[in-house]
Amino acid sequence: MIERPELSFTRLKGCTKDDIVSIHYESTVHIQRALEMLKDMGVKAGISLNPGTPLTVLEDLFPDLDVILIMTVNPGFAGQKLIPATLDKIRRLRKFLDDKDYTDILIEVDGNVSFEHAAKMHKAGANIYVAGSSSIFRSDGNLLKNTNKMRKIINT
């Protein structure tokens, strides 16, 4: 998470239409301008919401979005506990997107995406998972085995 991310977009040259660039809602005062800049670059535009940021801030942004990233922990460091209320946040967002016919907007989750939590996040409506030290990079397994386990969980 950086402040005024739009000042760093020039570093993203070479990104393609298959790349997703997410910026934190809290990081800039001109969020729609920043999202438009991303779209003009040809990438998928995403917005990240911290756990304490309400979904209502998205009200006028849906037409500008390809991805909404729900932070399930506060950004900063690995090993944090999942904030349980974020599972309901994912559910409410999925329902809203489906009800308003924004079904093409993907929901990404980041923060303690463990095997157990990934299953709950998937059930709540998540589409993209930022898997890290609590799942695929766990020290008690190997990357291939853990990746296959994660794929099985989110593809059910």
| DSSP string across the chain | --SSGGGGGGGGTT--TT-EEEEEGGG-S-HHHHHHHHHHHTSEEEEEE-TTS-GGGGTTTGGG-SEEEEESS-TT-TTPPP-THHHHHHHHHHHHHHHTT-TTSEEEEES---HHHHHHHHHHT--EEE--TTTTT-TTS-HHHHHHHHHHHHT-
pLDDT tens profile 34-59: 999 999 999 999 999 999 999 999 99
Instruction: Print burial letters for 23-32: b (CB count within 10 Å at least 16), e (below 16).
Output: bbbbbbeebe
pLDDT tens profile 97-152: 999 999 999 999 999 999 999 999 999 999 999 998 889 888 888 999 999 999 99
What was the pLDDT predicted at 105? 97
In angstroms, how far apart are the furthest CA atoms of the chain?
Answer: 44
The amino acid that residue 78 corresponds to is A
pLDDT at 78 over 80: no
CATH class belonging to 5-154: alpha beta
